[in-house]
Amino acid sequence: MHYKRLIPIVLLKDGLLVRSQLFKFHQAIGDPIPTIKRLSDWGVDEIILLNIGMTNNFDSRRDDKWHNIGQSNFNNLITKISRFCFAPLSVGGFIRTKNDLKELFNCGADKCIMNSSIFENQSLVKWAVKEYGAQSIVASLDIKAVKSTYKIFTNNGNKLVNLNLSEAIQYCLDIGVGEIIISSIDYDGSTEGYDPYILQNIPNDLEIPIIINSGARHTNHFVEALKKESIQAVAASNIFYFTELSYPIIKNKINKKVNLLRKSKLLSDLIEREPKYSDIDKKNLLSKGNKDKFFDKKKFHGHLKIKPKYCKRCLYPSLSASPMQFNNEGICMGCKIYERKSSINEGEFNNRKKILLEIAKKKKSSSNYDCIVSVSGGKDSYYQTHYVKNELNLNPLLVTYNGNNFTKEGWDNLIRMKDVFKCDHIIVSPSVDILKKLNKIAFIVMGDMNWHNHIGLYTAAPRVAIQYKIPLIFWGEHGYADLCGQFSDEDFPEMNYRERLEHAGRGFDWNFFVDIDKITSKDMFLWKYPSDKEILKLGLRQIYLGNYVKWESNNHLKMMIEKYNFKVSDKKFERTYRRGSNLDDIYENGIHDYMKYIKFGYGRCTDHASKDIRSGLISREKGIDLINSMDHIKSKDLYRWLDYVGMTEKEFDRIADHFRDPRVWTWNEKSGWERDIITADKEL
């Protein structure tokens, strides 16, 4: 049988994986390597990787991440990917010369995709076909409605080619390419399905394969296109970022309706899902703990410094912990998504509530519980449980990861939850001895003593779900979508392994810590995420309520205080003005957040002020005053942590300095560390 193909497209801009809309608006999802590794684990038919940025050179250095691309280029990225990617890899972007093609094929590309050069350098295309074979050269056609007709565009949809679709296809056939991918600029990121014009106007008798792209979200979108004799492959981008095991689940649904795709096979059953860490890599990362190891002053003379761009509406910087993109007016995607969510009316939220109820109905299990709510005892945990119990009328099992970092108020709030909401509650509490080791090791390796807490939080609930056969977990808001506008409000992203590993764990999973300071695989049991096979068998879904409910943390806090006597801190935090956040963890608003300031030059006060500016609670000028007075403070909870792990403050500072970003910081022998600050006139 001749199978058709389902192809994920990975879009890259400035070294970051991005979500695209109309070829214009781009929201940063994260780094490409974890996503491509997951796609490869799922045994995808093919991966298309397109560089849609303005350059082949990247500068996405993150010395606290395992999968750090660093100061690099597209070719080096292809080389890295080809070492672990088992799927056919087709790459495109900035292919202008014979040398560009040679380097990409030498780096590991199986096919090269050409867009502008197809029309601007016909001789190059013909040479490539002769040199590498037609099957290795793919033409990319981007089409857009222009008044009453459709025309081809190049250069990311900015340059008109005076050809219609039929003429462009014939042109590609004449120059000898072996495959054509057709994308709709108008339908890009729309989730409305493939462009009907393209579906209806591809000839049936073509001798080369046609791939259709742009707009697909639902199973029927793919099925409609696959039924067309003229189409040999369907492609999509954004949809594969949103959910756990998205590719095999979508493929299985398609095959149930039209059996035209090769059966999905999880390679993660055969190949280790977790990243591989060599002893040499571990040794290098741990060397920051050596007493004679200091930061490299040569990196901080100012030659690597970049003037940061701040959002003109809130205060978010371009160099941030949350992957950030800005529109042409200088407004960050976090503000744009908040603006969009604020425009959603009550009727739409009622519709979203119905979707939630339908999900819960479909995920009804034989367990005593309808779902799990992952709770930390904070204001959002209270609101999540309140909503699930009282609005959705479900009986949840509460699950908590206890990282031994609770404030007094946070612990009291947590313990009260089972009585307040009349729910069963499981608290997962690891060995304190192991926690101390993980705190210290993770701080040295990635500048984050709370690695155990982030990974533990996103592992405990899924593990309990598998154990008790509960296929539905509720979380609160999607942090990155809320802060930096990582997704559209209609994407409905769900918690998944890629997100857990990349954003919560910075690319470091449980197996990194094995054999360090006598830690064993058994010691790391509580941080081991369920296998893909277990998740697929259970049909586990992990829903962010913030995608379905009008989410405003300040309002939720007031409601939880009034309804459930939720306790806030009676003392001011040193690094933020809010008193009701992160009570479940002493360090989140404190020294953990101070490390964000060390790395990027901003902290939790910037996060909170930006949110409150968006919601109209404070002015931008007030926000600037707050962050300039708080973001730099080294909080006193540091001394508790130093005593906890057995480290001196001098050691802490020496290790922390290794994580400073030279794009943000400079070193002055007389005055020490220096960075730019934002002022009330919006200029640096």
- Nearest alpha-carbon partner for 11 in 74, 69, 99, 61: 74
Structural tokens at position 426: 């499981």
End-to-end Cα distance, the chain: 63
- For residue 182, which phi and psi values (nearest 5 degrees)? -115, 120
Structural tokens at position 454: 């982030």
Residues of the chain with pLDDT under 50: 682-684
Q: What is the Cα–Cα distance from 476 to 454, expressed in whole angstroms?
A: 14
The region, left, alpha or beta by phi > 0 then psi within -120 to 50, assigned to residue 31 is beta
Q: What is the Cα–Cα distance from 263 to 266, expressed in whole angstroms?
A: 10
Structural tokens at position 591: 């020294």
Q: What is the Cα–Cα distance from 18 to 30, expressed in whole angstroms?
A: 7
Q: How far is CA 480 from CA 202, 474, 546, 574, in A?
A: 39, 17, 12, 24
Q: Judge whether 626 and 577 are in contact, CB under 8 Å.
A: yes
pLDDT of residue 59: 67
Q: Which of the 8 DSSP states describes residue 259?
A: -
Burial class of residue 180, CB neighbours in 10 A (0-12, 13-18, 19+): buried
Chain center to CA of 368? 33
Q: What is the Cα–Cα distance from 270 to 252, expressed in whole angstroms?
A: 20
Q: What is the Cα–Cα distance from 121 to 551, expressed in whole angstroms?
A: 51
CATH 3.40.50.720 fits 342-554, yes or no: no
Helix (H) or strand (E) holding 628: helix 620-630
CATH number attached to the domain at 5-269: 3.20.20.70
- For residue 20, the cross-strand partners are 26
- Model pTM? 0.93
Q: How many CB atoms lie within 10 A of CB 649?
A: 11
Q: How many CB atoms lie within 10 A of CB 158?
A: 11
Angle 649-656/432-446 helices, nearest 10 degrees?
40
- Nearest alpha-carbon partner for 605 in 582, 584, 578: 578
SS3 at position 662 = coil
Which one-letter amino acid corresponds to residue 29?
A: I
Q: What is the Cα–Cα distance from 452 to 394, expressed in whole angstroms?
A: 30
DSSP string, 53-102: SS-SEEEE--TT-TT--EEEEHHHHHHHHHTT--S-EEEES---SHHHHH
In sequence order, which residues have a C-beta less than 8 Å from that of residue 373 and are 6 or more positions away? 381, 384, 385, 388, 396, 397, 398, 399, 423, 473, 474
Structural tokens at position 594: 């101070």
Helix (H) or strand (E) holding 647: none
CA angle (660, 662, 664) in 5-degree steps:
85
Buried b (16+ CB within 10 A) or exposed e, 469-495: ebbbbbbbbbbbbbbbbbbbbebbbbb
> 179-184 and 210-213: which strand pairing?
parallel
Structural tokens at position 515: 């054999």
CA atoms within 13 A on the CB side of 347: 0
Q: What is the Cα–Cα distance from 56 to 49, expressed in whole angstroms?
A: 13
- For residue 632, which phi and psi values (nearest 5 degrees)? -90, -5
pLDDT of residue 62: 77
pLDDT of residue 29: 87
SS3 at position 251 = helix
pLDDT of residue 264: 83
Token pair 């106007």 is found at 201
The region, left, alpha or beta by phi > 0 then psi within -120 to 50, assigned to residue 54 is alpha
Q: Judge whether 412 and 383 are in contact, CB under 8 Å.
A: no
> 137-146 and 149-154: which strand pairing?
antiparallel
Q: How far is CA 175 from CA 94, 112, 167, 418, in A?
A: 19, 15, 13, 69
Q: What is the Cα–Cα distance from 499 to 615, expressed in whole angstroms?
A: 27
Q: What is the Cα–Cα distance from 64 to 504, expressed in whole angstroms?
A: 12
Q: What is the Cα–Cα distance from 92 to 85, expressed in whole angstroms?
A: 17
Q: What is the Cα–Cα distance from 673 to 665, expressed in whole angstroms?
A: 7
- For residue 152, which phi and psi values (nearest 5 degrees)? -90, 140
Q: What is the Cα–Cα distance from 69 to 80, expressed in whole angstroms?
A: 9
The domain ranges of the chain are 5-269, 342-554
Token pair 């050596």 is found at 290
Q: Judge whether 607 and 483 are in contact, CB under 8 Å.
A: yes
Q: Judge whether 370 and 476 are in contact, CB under 8 Å.
A: no
Q: Which of the 8 DSSP states describes residue 340?
A: H
Burial class of residue 207, CB neighbours in 10 A (0-12, 13-18, 19+): exposed
